[in-house]
Every structure is written in C-alpha cells, then in structure tokens.
Amino acid sequence: MISDMRFYKNVLFAALILLMSPAIVKAAEADSILLTLDSGFLNRPVELAVFNGDVVIAWDDRALSAPTTLEIKRLSNGMAQFAFGDAAAISGSEVTIALRSDGNAFEVTRDGTADGVTAAARAEGMLTSSLIASAELAVAPVTSADVKEAMIGGDASADEMIEAPVRTDETIFLMLDLGFVGRPVSLEVFDGALTVAWNEETLVAPTSLRLTRTRGGGGADQTEAAKGVAIEFGDPNAVSGEGMFTITHKADRPPEASEQTEVNVYSVDSSTAQASFAGDAISYTHPACAGGTFAPMFRDGIMRSGMASWYAYKDCLCAASPDVPKGTRMKVSRQDDPSVFTVVTINDWGPERDVHPDRVIDLDKVAFSRIGNPRGGVLAVNVDVLSEDDPLYAIGDELPPPPWKW
C-alpha cells in the first residue's frame, strides 16, 4: 500500500513538472517569471533564486503578511524588477536583493520614482543589499562614482549636475505603532548625530520607518556638510502631506564666511532648499513625505534667497550684506512677485548669519518701501549681483524714491 502511494505521488509530481515546464521555459526566454505566493509562503523565511541564480530576493518570517503574486523581470541593462500583486502583503517589510554584477552599488527605483543610490556588498560575484519592499521595486547595478543626477530638469549643464547620494551600511529599522500616530515625534538616532522630528499632523496610521545614513550628493559648487539621511516609511498612506519634518544633522565642520548652508532633497521632485547652521548642527524643515533622501551641503558663494529686513538709516537705496563687498550693486526682488524689485548699493556689513540665518540682506527703509510695506518687518526676497553694464544698474542712482504707498 505504501509503495502504491509513493508511485501515485511520483506520477503526480512528474505530471506537474510536465504541465509547468512550457511556462517556465517561455518565462526564461522572456526574462520574466510570475510566481504565486500562497499561504505556504507565510510566516517563514523565503529565498527565491531565479535566472540560473543571477537574481535572488529573500525575506524573513515576518515579512509576508498575506498571499500575493510576485513578478520578477531581468532587463538587458542588468536591472531587476520586482512587482508584488498586493502591495499591502509585504509593504514596509525588509527584503534582501542580490544580483550577479561587477558594480559596487544599486540605483533604486521605487514605484516608478528614482530613489537614489544605495551601497551594496560584493561577495563571490554577487552584489547584495537590503531594502524596504514596495509594490514595484527595481534595482540596477552601478558604479556609484559614475552616477550623476540633475537637480534642474533633464537638460541641466555640467555645473548643475550633482552626484547622487550613496547609502551607507548605517541603518535603523523602527516600527511605529498607534502610540506614534497623531502626535509630535522626535527621534534622536546614530548616537545623537541625527534628529528626525515631525508634527502631530504627519503620521496618520501605524507603519514602519527605515533611516539610512548617506554620503555625497553634492554639485560642483557644493561641499558635503554632514552625512545625509534616506527616510523610508513602509506605508506611504500613513504619512500626510499636511505634516512637516524638522531634520537636524551634526555638521562635519562650521561653514566658511563665504558659504551658505542648504540641503539637496531627492524625493518625487528633486530640489535644493535653504538650511540653517547653529552651534554644531544643520537644521531645516520640509513637507512630510513617505520617502526621500536629504543631503546637507555648503555652497561656495553668496546667499541668493531669504528674508530681507530693514533699518532707518540714511534714506537711500542702500543695504547691508554679509556676502559681498561695499560698493556692490544688487537687485532685490520679491519672491512672490519677481516683477517687483529695487536696486541697492551695499554700504554696510550685516545682518549676522549666526543670529539670523535666514536673513539675506538688510535694506534701508527707503529701499524696503520700494518692494514692500515696512510694517511687515521682513519680506521674502531674491538677490542678484549686478554688473555696471547691466541696464538695471542705473536704477540704484535714483533718489529720492517715488512716493509709493502701501
């Protein structure tokens, strides 16, 4: 009886192989495999090696929370794509991916959005890294030093190209339960070198959070000011866009007198934002997002945007600046309406950036009145240095100013 049962089992197993073989061969030819992860894959560690072991994805016994499908594709450029049918089944969990490659890092794309470069370990020809899973995750092996990313459009000049930040092996994985929802939170991590905080509007549901320190991410005129951070929440719907992050990094050094402090942000839209330096730390705020990388930088050059204050001094089209020599002529325009501007001559030094890190210029009251109401105290402006052959240069000679009223 036992031998009969073994016979039938063997026949059934052979039939299954015959039924499945054409699909497997076809999938291999197309470099695409569709797997069904049923309840047998739940609550157990899983390691899937496909394409003759050139692509591997693995997770632990806590990762998969429900049955789902997984499609794995291998593209001609060496990229591997992983698409889970039910994002909630593995969202927020950590997976380990290994590719056979000569690279030294992975360029990561998450749900169709570039997510920067992460460090990877090489062993026996395989490049390996751990990542937070998402519905669609793609990794491409790269040489990190060769990866460049434009901060301003796709046709940016060489000076506008910056090196994408590279993730280090310093990472922290946290579970944020109901106790973190609907309240202000401040997390001091990496021995006090980084603080990530958010207000009560940020977290609307329990989720996971992974913080990974990064290096690099600067442009030709930027110098790294501190290690950056990649922030990844497991459930994107748990983070409200109405919330606000406040991030503080311990700086590698204080800025030079001619340097301004800023942060390069890699998220859905890459950008550069103003930051402040105080004591030994760099701080800034940013609208809350489910994922992004923040790289603090010092930029060699003058501060070109910020708040303008005013003082009643000589009743002239003049101003104080800590960035340029006396006698420099500058155009000062409103950030909310750049068509409203004035031209001033720098005749004093100030304001002090260590006291007022967001102050770009201190205008005489007469000059301030050209672009805003002095009763407001300060005004968000942009500033530009003018050369003597600029048609706007002569505006600075105009005195007294017209009797504008606000």
Please give the pLDDT value at position 191.
Answer: 95
pLDDT tier, 9 (very low <50, low <70, confident <90, very high otherwise): very low
Which residues, other chains included, contact 355 with Cβ-Cβ below 8 Å and sequence gap of 6+?
Answer: none
Handedness of CA 21, 27, 33, 34 (dihedral sign): negative
- pLDDT above 90 covers a percentage of the chain that reads 40
Contact 297, 282 (CB under 8 A): no
CA angle 314, 317, 321 (to 5 degrees): 85
pLDDT of 127 over the 50 cut: yes
Select the more confidently predicted residue: 159 or 138.
138
What number is the average pLDDT over the span 148-163? Answer: 43
Return the structure tokens found at 229.
Answer: 């951070």
- The answer to whether the beta carbons of residues 259 and 300 sit under 8 Å apart is yes
Calculate mean pLDDT across residues 364-373: 94
| pLDDT of amino acid 405 | 41
The pLDDT, as a whole number, for residue 308 is: 96
> Looking at the predicted structure, is the pLDDT value of residue 25 above 50?
no
Side chain identity at 271, as an amino acid letter?
S
Give the chain's count of helices (H) and strands (E): 2, 31
Mean pLDDT value of segment 375-400: 87
Q: Which two tokens stand for residue 402?
A: 């017209």
Given this model, what pLDDT does residue 29 score?
A: 40
Distance CA 73, CA 27 (A): 9
Residue 154 has pLDDT above 50, yes or no: no
Token pair, residue 208, equals 């996971």
Q: How far apart are CA 195 and CA 140, in angstroms?
A: 31
Identify the pLDDT of residue 151. Answer: 35
Averaged pLDDT for residues 376-391: 90
Return the higher-pLDDT residue of 13 and 326: 326
Q: Which residue has the higher pLDDT, 91 or 277?
A: 277
Structure tokens at 190: 């990496």
Instruction: Write out pLDDT tens, residues 296-320.
Output: 999 877 788 899 999 887 788 999 9
Stronger pLDDT, 177 or 403, i.e. the higher one:
177
More confident residue, 391 or 167: 391
pLDDT at residue 94 in the model: 80
pLDDT of residue 163: 65
pLDDT at 15 over 70: no
pLDDT in tens, 212-223: 999 887 777 789
Q: Is the pLDDT higher at 125 or at 185?
A: 185
Task: Give mean pLDDT, residues 149-158.
Answer: 39
Annotate the chain with three-state secondary structure: CHHHHHHHHHHHHHHHHHHHHHHHHHHHHCCEEEEEECHHHCCCCEEEEECCCCEEEEECCCCCCCCEEEEEEECCCCCEEEEECCHHHCCCCEEEEEEECCCCEEEEEECCEEEEEEECEEECCEEEEEEECCCEEEEEEECHHHCEEECCCCCCCHHHEEECCEEEEEEEEEEECHHHCCCCEEEEECCCCEEEEECCCCECCCEEEEEEEEECCCECCEEECCCEEEEEECCHHHECCCCEEEEEEECCCCCCCCEEEEEEEECCCCEEEECEEECCEEEEEEECCCEEEEEEEEEECCCCEEEEEEECCCCCCEEECCCCCCCCEEEEEECCCCCCEEEEEEEECCCCCCCCCCEEEEEEHHHHHHHCCHHHCCEEEEEEEECCCCCCHHHHHCCCCCCCCC
- What's the confidence (pLDDT) of residue 119? 67
- At residue 268, the pLDDT reads 53
> In whole angstroms, what is the distance from residue 119 CA to residue 111 CA?
20
Nearest to 216 by CA among 293, 287, 270, 140: 293
Higher-confidence residue of 350 and 240: namely 240
Task: Please report the pLDDT score of residue 93 as a whole number.
Answer: 75
* 3-class secondary structure, 310: strand
Please state, in angstroms and rounded to a whole number, the distance separating the CA atoms of residues 406 and 392: 23
pLDDT of residue 18: 36
Q: Please tell me the predicted confidence (pLDDT) of residue 319.
A: 93
Query: HSE of 80 in the Cβ direction (CA atoms, 13 Å)?
Result: 22
Query: In this model, does residue 17 exceed pLDDT 50?
Result: no
- Non-local (6+) Cβ contacts of 154 within 8 A are none
pLDDT confidence of residue 269: 54
pLDDT digits (tens, 9 = 90+) for 324-364: 778 889 999 999 998 999 999 998 888 887 788 889 999 99
As a whole number, mean pLDDT of residues 20-33 equals: 48
* Mean of all residue pLDDT scores within the chain: 81
Structure tokens belonging to residue 101: 């490659």
pLDDT digit string (tens) for 56-106?
A: 999 888 888 899 999 999 988 789 999 999 888 886 678 889 999 887 778
Q: What is the pLDDT of residues 289-299, one digit of tens each?
A: 888 889 999 98
| pLDDT one-digit tens code per residue, 162-209 | 566 787 889 899 999 999 999 999 999 999 999 999 999 999 999 999
Q: Nearest to residue 88, comparing CAs of 241, 234, 239?
A: 234
